[in-house]
Amino acid sequence: MKVRKYFLLFVVLSLGFNGYIYGQANKNFEISKSIDVYNSLFKELNLNYVEEIDPGKLNETAINAMLQELDPYTVFVPESQIEDMRMMTTGEYGGIGSLIQQMGEFVIISEPYEGFPAQKAGLIPGDIILEINDMNAVNKTSSEISELLKGVPGSEVRLKIRRTGSDQPMDVKLTREKIKLDNIPYSTVLDNSIGYILLTGFTQKAAAEFKDIFVKMEADHQLRGLIIDLRGNGGGLLNEAVDIANLFVNKNELIVSTKGKSPDRTSVHRTRFAPVDLTIPIVVLVNEGSASASEILAGSLQDLDRAVIVGQKTFGKGLVQNVVPLSYNTQLKITVAKYYIPSGRCIQAIDYSHKMENGGKIPDSLVSTFKTKAGRTVFDNGGIMPDITIEPLEFSPVSAHLYTSNLFFKYANKFAFEHKEIAPVSEFDITDEMYDDFMKFVAEQGFTYTTESEKMIAELKKQAGEESYLPDVSAQLDALEQQLRLIKQQDILKHREEIERILRSEIASRYYYQKGKIITALRQDEEIEKAVEVIMNQSRYRQVLSGK
């Protein structure tokens, strides 16, 4: 009887193994067949197509089309973009140190980084790039201009620019430097002894930088709490997120695990060091732009009941990518695993293998519940759901159109040209005189925009005309349209508070650069106010973490 059992087990295992071998062999045959068909097709195109083809461009198009069938994070990296890939992990590149933006047929300097070549050479926001090393820069895209501005640190780049208010173009020589993007562009201790750290990236050494800043804060102040701001942080290196979490939880604590198709893609990441502070109250700020490593940090601190999460639901990227070298100095960034935070949940929002069904989103009926370390209920419904949700700040249509029309940007340039200095950034405000000047500037620029209400009236007129009702309702619709137009003329006054908020930040950046923009934005920040309120109310803080 035992012999028969073992024989049956052997048969089952053998069938399974043979099935696996057959499946792999069949898949390998399909790959070989597809490559052969592709090679044949490419050869025939090259020999017979009526026009000359660009083999490299066609090949890259074919590769990208194939990868589009997968997820948006699995991408082919040609040799020309290797430096960009390196910058994503190190936060470093060789260049002039400035943000640029497209404006019509030109690319302009939009924000020089303080202390780097663009700023030291005197470039200012609004400068139009006409030439780079004698090459015409007009009608080129911002990505094309970015590639031309980058280069080996120490190399020279010559720009010809046109500046508002100057009749003649200017020649500017710059020496490229190694540009390091800060993981932490700003940190401070608020008036109520609460530390604030703005973390915008997880490149190499992010955790070490975070630790240095936090340790110094604790040494210099009697901290009552800490706010970690991850809003808009799109992520980066997984190990940096683990090591930042490590500062606040015990050694050997599970932070994240990854599970892939093969055993070598499955791993467990635990804290490796003794913590720095196990008791300080922590609030983590998140929004829909917080993704990947940001979600690992926020989600692990939530699952371990170590921080209160405040803001909006995060992006929902629970996929892990590796960079694989390919031939001819190209690379493939490929999704190799999903990650799971301490409660066991994966926060991936979209199932790309079923993206044709409901956009790949997980239906509410399939959302699973999990438990934090203290027993609170959390969900795997695509992203980290905050413990305290705050509605996102939404600007009015007039503010949005002023922004997209670049009128805040242009006015700030005009203001900086006319005013050599302003008050310290913490004291700078928009006066009535400034606001009147801004409204005058907007009017001179011929600013106009169409509201959704006006679009609906236009559509209603069109529909009424098609149904022969227009003669009967035309007068009423015209009157309504005129009334809306009159109301709209008051929008810049009606929404002054939010317009001032944007304008103050834009003007401050002309004098105090990126740090000035951050400081002015923090002066009216409802989410920081809520974070401070939670930390100062310790019973409320403990209540949230206990789930009661």
- CATH number of the domain that 221 lies in? 3.90.226.10
Domain final position from 180, 200, 217: 180
Distance CA 375, CA 388 (A): 17
Is there a domain that residue 68 lies in?
no
Hey, what amino acid is at 539?
S
Same domain, 435 and 311: no
Same domain, 278 and 358: yes
Identified catalytic residue from 303, 305, 387, 491 = 303
Domain final position from 149, 180, 211: 180
CB 230 within 8 A of CB 204: no
Same domain, 360 and 433: no
Residue ranges making up the domain that contains 525: 397-529
Same domain, 325 and 224: yes
Specify the number of domains making up the chain.
Answer: 4
Q: What is the pLDDT of residue 259?
A: 93
In whole angstroms, how far apart are CA 336 and each of 11, 45, 147, 465?
Answer: 33, 34, 29, 57
Distance CA 245, CA 234 (A): 17
Known active-site residue 71: no
Is there a domain that residue 81 lies in?
no
Same domain, 336 and 373: yes
Residues 6+ apart with CB under 8 A from 248: 275, 276, 277, 278, 280, 282, 301, 306, 307
CB 283 within 8 A of CB 310: yes
Residues 6+ apart with CB under 8 A from 352: 70, 71, 72, 360
Residues of the chain by 3-state class (helix, strand, coil), percent to 5? 45, 20, 35
Q: What is the pLDDT of residue 25?
A: 62
CB 282 within 8 A of CB 298: no
The torsion angle over the Cα atoms of residues 292, 295, 301 and 302, rounded to 10 degrees, is: -150
* pTM of the predicted protein model: 0.88
Given the DSSP bridges, would you call strands 308-311 and 388-389 parallel, antiparallel or unpaired? Answer: parallel
Q: How many helices and strands in the chain, by DSSP H and E?
A: 17, 21
Domain final position from 365, 392, 419: 392
Identified catalytic residue from 110, 292, 300, 505 = 292
Closest CA to 232 of 289, 164, 315, 309: 289
Q: List pLDDT tens digits, range 10-68.
A: 544 455 555 545 555 677 888 889 999 999 999 999 999 999 999 999 999 999 999 99
Known active-site residue 303: yes
Is there a domain that residue 82 lies in?
no
Same domain, 190 and 175: no
Is there a domain that residue 62 lies in?
no
Q: What is the pLDDT of residue 293?
A: 96
Residues 6+ apart with CB under 8 A from 93: 83, 84, 86, 87, 150, 178, 179
Same domain, 131 and 258: no
Same domain, 283 and 168: no
Closest CA to 411 of 436, 448, 429, 432: 436
Is there a domain that residue 190 lies in?
yes
Query: Please, what are the averages of pLDDT over each run of 10 residues along the chain (548 residues)?
Result: 51 51 68 91 93 92 93 90 79 91 95 95 96 96 93 95 90 94 95 96 96 98 97 95 98 96 86 97 98 97 98 95 90 94 94 77 81 94 94 92 95 96 95 96 92 88 88 88 83 94 96 95 93 96 89
CB 300 within 8 A of CB 255: yes
Is there a domain that residue 71 lies in?
no
Known active-site residue 353: no
Token pair recorded at residue 201: 């990236």
Is there a domain that residue 70 lies in?
no
Same domain, 129 and 275: no
Domain of 111: which CATH number? 2.30.42.10
Same domain, 161 and 241: no
Q: What is the pLDDT of residue 6?
A: 54
Same domain, 403 and 388: no
Same domain, 330 and 439: no
Identified catalytic residue from 317, 410, 488, 517 = 317
If you write DSSP's letter for every residue of 517-534 in order, what string do you get?
HHHHHHTT-HHHHHHHHH
Hey, what amino acid is at 284?
V
Closest CA to 247 of 220, 284, 221, 222: 284
Q: What is the pLDDT of residue 12?
A: 47
Is there a domain that residue 288 lies in?
yes
